[in-house]
Amino acid sequence: METVEMNSVSLKRPHSEDDVANADEIKRQKISEKSQTGNNSGQSVETVKEQPDKSLLEDTKNEIIPNEEGEEQEDEELEDSDEDGDPESFADMMKHGLTESDVGITKFVSSHKGFSGILKERYSDFVVHEIGKDGRVSHLDDFSVPVDDEVNSEDPSEETFTVLSDEDKQRLEELQLLKNKETSVAIEVIEDSKEKRTVIHQAVKSLFPGLETKTEDRDGKKYIIAYHAAGKKALAKVRTATDPRKHSWPKSRGSYCHFVLYKENKDTMDAINVLSKFLRVKPNIFSYMGTKDKRAITVQEIAVLRITAQRLAHLNKCLMNFKLGNFSYKNHPLKLGELQGNHFTVVLRNITGTDDQIEQAMNSLREIGFINYYGMQRFGTTAVPTYQIGRAILQNNWNEVMDLILKPRPGAEKGYLVKCREEWAKTKDPAAALKKLPVKRCVEGQLLRGLLKYGMKNIISAFGIIPRNNRLMYTHSYQSYVWNNMVSKRIEEYGLKAVPGDLTLKGATAVHIEEKDVHNYTIHDVVMPLPGFDVIYPKHKIGEAYKEMLVADNLDINNMRHKIRDYSLSGAYRKIIIRPQNVNWEVVAYDDPKIPLFTTDLDKLEGKPLPVLPTDGKFRALKMEFSLPPSTYATMAIREVLKMDTSIKNQTQLNTTWLR
């Protein structure tokens, strides 16, 4: 097996933003007509920005929800780049972005000649199915609601969701959140009957936890009066506890409703924000095993505490780009990282490779695999890479951290961020810069609020306002940057075989491969460390290379503990070569670039037939399937097949050339 240096840019023709917008609009209209709701994607690392969707998710797209730690979650970028405008001007702006070589991604393991193809021309060309810890692949194939052995009289009926007017709901929500001085809300019963009153009582209690109801006669008319049972104290319990209305939950039913979330072109956290908003609960009662990509169709399992399957199923009629199904009740939540991996179905359109090239590329992927690089999403998309901020944190250089986050930067960004940075550069006044930000929950806004609160001389506390997971993203990005560079050096120096001094895992413990045992190992057994205080390093040239790289960055590899505990890096081990499982592929011909080339779970549920494809179409596409373990980047596998640079900078510049 030989290694191949990447020394030329790909001929891949990426999509223009206009193409993306048009394709997405067509798909969005299709979804809207079906009242559709869904999208999920696990390990892919491609970051392709798109035009904003006119969906219910807009209200929450800038929210940052602190999460438990998990590598997949960390890869959700905190920045939003503004890519409006013609493709050429955007490509000019992206000249300041990163390329793969900037973050140490320089090697290939296969010897085949690369070819071009379009990745994610449509987001529906990239489908991800989560693989649970039991090896079961998540699929959406059942919309039915489970029936309890014990009948629960308080489960809401279908009419519960429609009996209240929008005005009633608005008044009740304000009452629930104590937004006005009202102590109660009166709802007139128009068509008075005991059954109608019961439905209204049930609707208020189930849709607005914390409110109680009673019936009153006023001037000969019946009214349902909603009120807080015990004022603010009761409200506080309902708003913060993870078990609202315990008395209404049957004892025989598991406390958690598990369901499959199918989402299209939406981020996992956006989806949970929207679900929590419509259910009027806090997002932290939801749990999941991993976050999935936005620009894809993704299918994953979610668990929610004490929300009935019936209430969840009703949301299928209300929300776009989601579908919920495969409901079941269990006694446990889900935990980040307890998945076995993700299964990918990917279409690469308009490929140029010959059948022999494709056969050689895919066989190599199946038999050898690909270098387990951290992909481009790990490092951000703007002129200030996340690893640079991480390095400044580890150096304890807080003025540099503040400067890197807030200073003006070239490249593609939203207009209000540009104005905020300009104001900061001119005045160094947090209050003045903050006024330029309509969205205060971005990292820049959070840091400015911290500086306003703690002052310019206490940057550490100001930075601490940013949610912990998002702060750690920066230091972990630096570790990934070091790892990528060291792996490229390791492969350049020693090739694709295990050598004495390499590291391998015995259980969870890393040990050095000795000369006498080297014949017992292959490259697939070799791991390399992310730098930290609790790892060991290879006993050959690469061990010294780690030290040299950190010394050049004014860091001591033997002292990775930070005076602030959060930023102390313990380190970890990562396999340098990943061999995908369940690899399959086929080449298909097509004429219409908008036609889907395979059916999704939702298509199957709706009984849509397989697309009819011509045998001699104008274009060829490579349909490929493979499974990857967690924290592995699908775009790095695709990079190995195409021999292409996956950075946005490269794609947009090539796209401009193609448009000309």
- Residue 245 CA to residue 537 CA, distance in Å, equals 54
Give the CA dihedral 47, 50, 55, 60, nearest 10 degrees: 50
- The answer to whether residues 39 and 297 touch, using CB atoms and an 8 Å cutoff, is yes
CA distance 20 to 265: 11
> 473 with 291: CB under 8 angstroms?
no
Tokens of 44: 């892919």
Retrieve residue 137's tokens.
């692949």
Biggest alpha carbon–alpha carbon distance for the chain: 96
* DSSP, residue by residue, 477-543: HHHHHHHHHHHHHHHHHH-SS--TT-EEEETTEEEEPPGGGGGG--GGGEEEEES-TT----SSHHH
Please state, in angstroms and rounded to a whole number, the distance separating the CA atoms of residues 203 and 169.
10
| DSSP one-letter code for 442 | S
CA distances from 427 to 226, 407, 422, 452 (A): 51, 12, 9, 14
Selection from 109, 223, 237, 117 nearest residue 171 by Cα: 223
Q: Supply 27's token pair.
A: 């798909």
Phi/psi at 73 (nearest 5 deg)? -65, -40
CA dist 657 → 79, 262, 430, 620, 652 (Å): 27, 36, 41, 21, 9
* Residue 299 contacts residue 128 (beta carbons within 8 Å): yes
User: Taking the CB of residue 283, how many other CB atoms lie within 10 A of it?
Assistant: 19
Kind and range of the H or E element at 367? Answer: helix 355-367
Instruction: Give 32-98 as a DSSP string.
Output: HHTT---B---S-------PPP-SGGGGGTT--------HHHHTS-S------S-HHHHHHHGGGS-
Chain-centre distance of CA 139, in angstroms?
19
The token duo for 561 is: 């503990």
Q: Which of 15, 39, 16 is nearest to 27 (CA)?
A: 39
Residues annotated as catalytic (active site), given as ranges: 293
Measured between alpha carbons, how far is 486 from 488 in angstroms, rounded to an integer? 5
What beta strand segments (E) does 166-296 contain? 184-188, 211-218, 221-228, 256-264, 286-288
Give just the sign of the alpha carbon dihedral 381, 383, 384, 385.
Answer: positive
